[in-house]
Amino acid sequence: MKKYIFPTLALLILTITSASSQNLQQRAEAAKAAAKAAADKAQNAKSGTGKTPLSNDQVITGLKDALTIGTNNSTGIASKLDGYYKNPKLFIPFPPEAKEVKSRVDAIGMKSQTDKFVMTLNRAAEEAAKNAAPVFIAAVKGMSIGDGFTILKGADNAATQYLKDNTSAELIQKFTPIVKAAIDKVEVTKYWKPIITKYNKIPMVQKQNPDLTAYVTQKAMVGLFMLIAEEELKIRKDPAARVTDILKNVFGSIIN
């Protein structure tokens, strides 16, 4: 009888041991899987790339935030003294269609006047930029973006380009009186009238008188959109520039 007891007992112990070992291994694998899942969740939360997809409303809000911040920063830069005048990227030159005017009157000793005139063109743009932010922000708030994710994952200036394409006509309409008031304030025409009067008295020349309000408006807006695009690029590429939670979530979801 004893000779059957010991092998049976040994087999029972071996079975129990094997089962315990398998159970421990399963628990270890389960714990490992749970740890990995927790780590992935933490990483997703940190990077803003969680598996929960962003809603279209979140994307639109993020884009509007980006453009609002961008327009505020841009108008702040442009509206400073010399914001246009001493910034090579924004500088507004003598009207190209009237370049003959400049060369002719410079040649007869009026270069200081043409230089002052160019300075006042840039001062007008700087003055107008002080009042531009509300115009841009109103346009941003009124945007209806159906293809938000396309813009989000588009080119580095996609949101700026969308704003430009869809609001330029309205912005020009609203921006023109602001520029005209700025032109009057910095007395652009005070320097322009003597130049154009002198030029038009030159025999055999084709008389010139460009629309200075339209010219400054167009150039001022080109400069502002350029700055807005730079601000958008910062938000897309630099996490430190994402100063709101929605910006962190939306732009953090982009895999560069």
pLDDT tens digits for range 158-215: 989 988 888 888 888 888 999 999 999 999 999 999 999 999 999 988 888 889 999 9
- Checking if the pLDDT of 17 tops 80, the result is no
Same domain for 80 and 181, yes or no, is yes
User: Which of 56 and 36 is assigned the larger pLDDT?
Assistant: 56
Please give the share of the chain, as a percent, with pLDDT higher than 90. 47
Same domain for 58 and 41, yes or no, is no
- Residue 256, domain member (yes or no): no
- Checking if the pLDDT of 11 tops 50, the result is no
- Residue 197, domain member (yes or no): yes
Domain encompassing residue 20: 1-47
State the total domains in the chain. 2
Mean pLDDT over 120-140 rounds to: 91
Same domain for 164 and 190, yes or no, is yes
Are 122 and 84 spatial neighbours (Cβ–Cβ below 8 Å)?
A: yes
Q: What is the pLDDT of residue 21?
A: 52
Please enumerate in sequence order all residues whose Cβ is within 8 A of that of 251, keeping only pairs 6 or more positions apart, or say none.
48, 62, 66, 152, 235, 236, 242
Q: Which of 12, 29, 47 is the C-terminal boundary of a domain?
A: 47
User: Which of 121 and 137 is assigned the larger pLDDT?
Assistant: 121
Q: What is the pLDDT of residue 207?
A: 87
Of 20, 109, 122, the closest CA to residue 79 belongs to 122
- Checking if the pLDDT of 128 tops 90, the result is yes
- Checking if the pLDDT of 23 tops 70, the result is no
Same domain for 121 and 223, yes or no, is yes
Same domain for 123 and 66, yes or no, is yes
Q: What is the pLDDT of residue 19?
A: 46
- Average per-residue pLDDT for the chain: 82
* pTM recorded for the entire structure: 0.74
Mean pLDDT over 33-52 rounds to: 50
